[in-house]
Structure 1
Amino acid sequence: MKKIITMCMSAALLLASCSNDNKVLRIAEQGSFAVGGTVLTDSLGRKYHGDHAYVFYQKPMDARKYPLVFAHGVGQFSKTWETTPDGREGFQNIFLRRRFSTYLVDQPRRGNAGRSTEAVTITPTFDEESWFNRFRVGIWPDYFEGVQFSRDKEALNQYFRQMTPNIGTVDFEVYSDGYAALFDKIGPAIFVTHSQGGPVGWRTFLKTENVKAIVSYEPGGQVPFPEGMLPEEGKYVTLSKTHEGIEVPMDVFLKYTKIPIIIYYGDNLPETDERPELYEWTRRLHLTRKWAALLNEHGGDATVIHLPEIGLRGNTHFPFSDLNNVEVADHLSKWLHEKGLD
């Protein structure tokens, strides 16, 4: 019999006991492991294991049929999905409470998976103000009116401290290899991606049979269109130096019609390009809407949600950790139920 671990969470504190049963998390199993990667051998026959992903998982009592696999975005690691910068529960615990097993991943060359096969020099870059803008918290140092982000100074401190460097060059093949190895190991599951994790998700899906659905929060870059059908928005080069869209053979494109896909974008998306770091997300919203329409024309099941249009206003680039993240999670739960994925 698996050992039952009972945890009580209140904001950011782990309590020894809890009188409110609604705050009790009953975990049937948890653990961590490395997956994927490669092994290098030098001229003396010595080994070096690297470029693997790191995974921390939890399985609740009476778990639902499909786990959720969480992929972080650029400059982030699995902390993205854990306790929010202002101390509330993130999607990890929210969905554990809803009886989904959760797999939080640090992609190869990031966070706990920092054992890269490439040599790299890490240099401090004074760029936090630009990320404040690009992640649509506001225009530094001012917050957007009504933004779903705490004004508490400690929240912003925690927000910046969850960023971590990339140990090696950006390589979507290396990243997706790691995630595909995870899906092959654990079996059918739902892939929940964010930002740079978006293109990782599109590639991972082609490498494993076990991705049952893709949920993507503000994906950026490399949206796969059929050859000769890439819209103008897809031809732009992103601020991360990748293309917004890519062209793939029609038979590859059609594979994306075989699973349900939902894409979310938050608020404060300008309709002019006066601030490129903000308009980048507007362009991506337009591009993914065209992609979803094309998928659906070919028998797919793709949905793009602009959160303000469904009454969820003020969301940043991180809707799943914003102040209204429970409402954001509620929409996802409803979609999962409608698609028979819960």
Structure 2
Amino acid sequence: MPKLRDVCSHIRSKNAGPFWITIDLTFPDRGTFDLHSTSPAIGPGAIAAMFDVEPGLVKHFLVPELAVVKISYPRKRPQGGALERDMHGGQQYNRLLEIDMGAPKPVPAIPVPVVDQHTLGGRGHFFVGGSYAGPPEGQTMAGQMFVEVLVPKEVRKPYPLVLLHGAGQTATCWMQTPDGRKGWADYFVEQGYIVYLVDQPMRGRSAWHPADGPTRNYTAQAVEAQFTACAQTTAWSEGKLHTQWPGSGPGRGRRGDPVFDAFYASMVETLVSNEDTAIRTQAAFAALLDKMGPAVLLTHSQGGSFGWAIADARPGLVKAIVAIEPSGPPFNALEGRPRSGLKWGVSDIALTYDPPVDDPAQLAVVAHRSEPHRVACERQQEPARQLVNLQNVPVLVVTGEASYHAAYDHGTVDFLRQAGVQVDFIRLEERGIHGNGHMMMLEANNLEIAACLDDWIAKSTRGD
């Protein structure tokens, strides 16, 4: 059986004032600490018996962050006493070296990768928004939104970060990658942000009821073609550049591959009506911001169009928006493709324009090619109406090199800039970050991208 000297990297005893001795047991790593730190062999009872003191007087502290056990007990004789032979308490550790630690306690096997949480100080969850609906004798709550909050031990950022997912997803897309690596939520906690994760209303832990309307879902084949195995697609030319989806082998990004299967298992039903989803999400986020105060929004895909509506409703509380490939292009219209949504330009629901717009048909538009080698997208005829509630909200739009959004996100940027919004636009390949598709927060280089976002947020909120 191992002795204490075999499992510790350092054992030290010392004075803790004239009447106490302190022992420090330092283990070589967190795993060894977890195995032995609570062993009865070094517990208060065993220490009391060894040094002939009352068990109730032994103080026993675990410091897992340092892999240290600290033990204090009263001296039999005060420091400097006539019969005291260990003036500085430095010889007491010798009696500990041969403690028989016995067999370590069994540790249950963990069947999946887990992410270290050493910077997390606390977590909680709550619901915001929602109202009772239905007949008086049988009401249910509709429109409420689940929110989880992660608080770092040391908050170093001036504003919380609220992560808003896209269609078919929930907050799990921010928590951990499908191959078990650290997700953006934990990364941003490590940078010192308070992080809020939400499930859109009528999605995931934010309950859907049949009265809310019909739902849709992505088939596995659609997910392969659009998100995970884009290199095999012919639907858009940039798809062949897709290299960052995690996994290996010929089945990477396809059904039967464990990483793909883990990702597809996370896909959930989405309300068919983007407009109804946008109305409920805007209302729930207004309630959230009213409750928590100013924050930075980080949106993805479908959540991107909701981000504009949220900032329009609470412009003083949204300090910046990071939009990862937001729904687009404006009016969902491309060359050769008729409009199919986003009837208010970049939103399915009304935004505040100046001069005012009562009907989206009042938005006169023309086709415009803002990047010569990209497709033409629609924007307003000049003079363009201004999105007045968004003009003081810094915006970053981020696009992956291999995503289907690479063909048209410039159109969204152009529309917003023309409407007076301060927009920075990052094509990741222009920052030396290559091979990303639409689900970049889950891909192999996800933390490299997160660092790029963190840098922009810091610069954009520095003056606040």
TM-score normalized with structure 1 length: 0.79
Gaps of 5+ in 1: 16-22, 225-229, 270-277
| Partner SS, residue 95 of structure 1 | helix
Percent of residue pairs bearing the same amino acid type: 26
Matched, 1:337 2:458: yes
* Aligned 8 A contact 1:77 1:107 in 2: yes
Equivalent position of 1:42 in the other structure = 135
Which residue is equivalent to 2:414?
A: 290
Q: Which residue of 2 aligns with 1:68?
A: 161
Question: What is the rounded CA distance, in whole Å, between the counterparts of 1:232 and 1:80 in structure 2?
Answer: 29
Segment of structure 1 superposing worse, 54-63 or 136-145:
136-145
Aligned to 1:197: 303
- Distance in 2, Cα, partners of 1:115 & 1:77: 13
Deviations 1:143-190 (CA, angstroms, capped at 9, x unpaired) = 945510123421111111111002574311112111221111110110
Question: Does 1:137 find its partner at 2:229?
Answer: yes
> Residue 157 in 1 paired to residue 261 in 2?
yes
Match of 1:312 in 2: 433
Tell me, in whole angstroms, the C-alpha distance in 1 between the residues paired with 2:111 and 2:461: 31
Residue equivalent to 1:322: 443
Structure 1 residues 332 and 318: CA distance shift in structure 2, 3 A? same
For the pair 1:221 / 2:328, whether they are aligned, the reply is yes
**Does the 8 A contact of 2:122 with 2:150 survive in 1?**
yes
- State the distance in 1 between where 2:272 and 2:230 align: 30
Question: Aligned residue for 1:107?
Answer: 200
Counterpart of 1:291, as a letter, is F
Identify the residue that residue 387 of structure 2 maps to in structure 1.
253
Contact 1:5-1:27 at 8 Å conserved across structures: no
Q: Render the CA deviation track for 1:179-204: whole Å, top value 9, x for unaligned.
A: 22111111011000000001110111
> Number of aligned pairs?
307
Tell me which residue corresponds to 1:128. Answer: 220
Q: Which of 1 and 2 has higher RCO (CA within 8 Å, sep 6+)? A: 1
Contact 1:27–1:59, Cα closer than 8 Å, also in 2: yes
Give the letter aligned to residue 321 of structure 1. L
2:319, 2:461 within 8 Å by CA — same for their partners in 1?
no
What is the DSSP-based 3-state SS (H/G/I as helix, E as strand, rest coil) of the residue aligned with 2:322? strand
Question: Gaps spanning 5+ residues in structure 2: where?
Answer: 1-62, 66-109, 249-256, 356-385
* C-alpha distance in structure 2 between counterparts of 1:161 and 1:207, whole Å: 34
The Cα of 1:242 is off from its aligned counterpart by 4.5
Amino acid at match of 2:345: G
Equivalent residue, structure 2, for 1:57: 149
Indicate the residue corresponding to 1:19 in structure 2: none
CA distance in structure 2 between the partners assigned to 1:222 and 1:243 by the alignment: 11
- 1:99 deviation in Å? 0.9
Which whole-Å CA distance do the structure 2 matches of 1:232 and 1:145 have between them?
22
Partners of 1:334 and 1:103 in 2: CA distance: 19
Q: What RMSD over aligned residues (CA atoms) do the two structures have, in Å?
A: 3.3
Cα distance in 1 between the residues matched to 2:132 and 2:427 = 43
2:394 counterpart letter in structure 1:
P
Q: Does the C-alpha gap of structure 1 residues 135 and 13 become closer, same or farther in structure 2, counting only changes over 3 Å?
A: closer
Aligned to 2:170: 77
- In 2: Cα distance, 1:41 partner to 1:5 partner: 52
Larger radius of gyration: 2
8 Å CA contact retained: 2:300, 2:324: yes
Contact 2:167–2:302, Cα closer than 8 Å, also in 1: yes
Q: For residue 57 of structure 2, what is the aligned residue in structure 1? A: none
- 1:160–1:184 CA distance, 2 compared to 1 (3 A): same
| One-letter code aligned to 1:13 | P
Say whether 1:118 aligns with 2:211: yes
